[in-house]
Every structure is written in C-alpha cells, then in structure tokens.
C-alpha cells in the first residue's frame, strides 16, 4: 500500500527521520571526495553526493554545498586557492571516504585522519586521492547562493583529468562497474553497481537500441 505525506506531514515529522527520508527519496547519488588546501597549507577532504554535469564543451561540473561547518572548509579553501579536486569513491575506499563526513579540527588533514593517501600534480594547489581511479582537478568558475536556505551551487572547469588507460573506451565510455565505483543512498548507505544495459539515443518511431 502506498503511504502519502503532504508538506504539512513532512514538517511535522521528527527531524532526523525527515532528514534521512528526504536525503533518500531521489534515489542513488554520486559519491565523490572533494579535496582542497587551506591558505595555511592544510589539506582538506570531504565526501559529497551532489556532483552534477554542467557542460562538456568547455567541461564544467557543479556540486552543492550545504551551509555547514564541514562543507564550509571546502568552500573557504577553494575560494582562497581557486582550485579543488573531485575524486571517484570506489568499493575499496568507501569506508575511509565515509569517515571524512565527520567533523575534524581545522588543523587536521582528513587524509591522514581517515587513512587516505594524497597525490599531487605539480603546479596544482589541491590534493587528489591517490587510490581514487578517476581524479579531476578543477578551477573555480562561479557560485550561486540559494535564497531559500543559503545552500550554494559551486561550478568549476575541469583543468586535469586522470584515469586508468584501460578504463577509457575509444568512444569516451567509462566502465564504472569495472572501476568499482559506488553510489550513495542519502548520506549513509553505499552501493556498487551492476550494469543493466547501455542504450543509444532514442529516436521516436524506432525501437530502443542496446549498445553492447
């Protein structure tokens, strides 16, 4: 039987229950570690489930920053240095990745505290995650603060992309399942993926074409 909640019922719900529910209603989300460095030289790393595609030419990605203290470190750092990294979370590092959601003192690097190794690209002032198979280095482009609750959309341009050569197909496809990528449910549950199918661009009147 379906159960139905209207806005009033959602607002009446106990706070943690509502937060868990609303974070999960949209389904599986992206799982990425965002790396920054403070003006004082401390590396920062935090998990995000909100990276979105903004454009391919030029290559832009966005992510959502909640107005919390953990995420504020990321924003202050990327505004100061102008750069940040986005690193794919895999099955092999998902427990370490989850640990970065804790609240660490500003002078502590989450890399060390959570058991992840940093990796650096010469001339790029933000740390990558060594064990992450897909590493992106971005430069800050623009940010928009929402009137409704102070949440921010941050947009950056991809300046560097590092990935395993054998993970990249000639047509640009990446085999996420082979890389061990994970998806997040809400803020706390991690999943690996099992491919159902890849499909061609659909033209009305034709049948759906599966790409092997």
Provide, rounded to whole angstroms, the least separation between the CB of residue 75 and its own copies.
Answer: 16
Neighbours of 76 (CB within 10 A): 15
Which of 33, 9, 36 lies closest to 21, judged by CA?
A: 9
184 to each of 23, 111, 197, how far by Cα in Å? 10, 20, 20
Tokens of 52: 């979105």
Q: Which of residues 12-31 bind its own copies (CB under 8 A)?
A: 13, 15-31
Q: Which of residues 51-110 bind its own copies (CB under 8 A)?
A: 51-62, 64, 66, 86, 88-89, 91, 94-95, 98-99, 101-104, 108
- Kindly report the backbone phi and psi dihedral angles of residue 101, in degrees, each rounded to the nearest multiple of 5, phi listed first: -75, -10
188 to each of 3, 21, 74, 86, how far by Cα in Å? 24, 12, 20, 19
Name which of 39 and 142 has its Cβ closer to its own copies: 142
Provide, rounded to whole angstroms, the least separation between the CB of residue 91 and its own copies.
Answer: 6
Provide, rounded to whole angstroms, the least separation between the CB of residue 200 and its own copies.
Answer: 7
Provide, rounded to whole angstroms, the least separation between the CB of residue 74 and its own copies.
Answer: 16
Tokens of 1: 């039987």
Q: Which of residues 120-179 bind its own copies (CB under 8 A)?
A: 134, 136, 141-142, 144, 146-149, 151, 153, 155, 157-165, 168, 170-174, 176-177
41, 69, 196, 212: residue in contact with its own copies (rule CB under 8 A): 196
């Amino acid at each position: 039987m379906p159960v139905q909640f209207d806005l009033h019922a959602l607002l009446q719900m106990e706070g943690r229950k509502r937060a868990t529910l609303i974070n999960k209603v949209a389904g599986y989300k992206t799982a990425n570690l965002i790396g920054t460095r403070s003006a004082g030289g401390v590396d920062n790393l935090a998990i995000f489930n909100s990276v979105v595609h903004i454009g391919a030419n030029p290559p832009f990605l966005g992510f959502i920053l909640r107005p919390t203290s953990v995420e504020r470190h990321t924003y202050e750092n990327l505004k100061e240095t102008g750069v940040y990294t986005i690193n794919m979370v895999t099955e092999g590092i998902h427990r370490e990745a989850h640990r970065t959601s804790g609240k660490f003192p500003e002078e502590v690097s989450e890399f060390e505290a959570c058991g992840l190794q940093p990796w650096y690209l010469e001339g790029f002032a933000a740390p990558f995650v060594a064990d992450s198979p897909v590493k992106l280095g971005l430069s800050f482009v623009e940010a928009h603060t929402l009137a409704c609750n102070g949440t921010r959309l941050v947009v950056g341009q991809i300046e560097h992309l590092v990935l395993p050569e054998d993970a990249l197909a000639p047509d640009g496809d990446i085999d996420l399942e082979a890389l061990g990528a994970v998806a997040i449910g809400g803020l706390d549950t991690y999943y690996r993926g099992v491919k159902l199918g890849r499909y061609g661009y659909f033209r009305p009147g034709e049948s759906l074409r599966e790409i092997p």
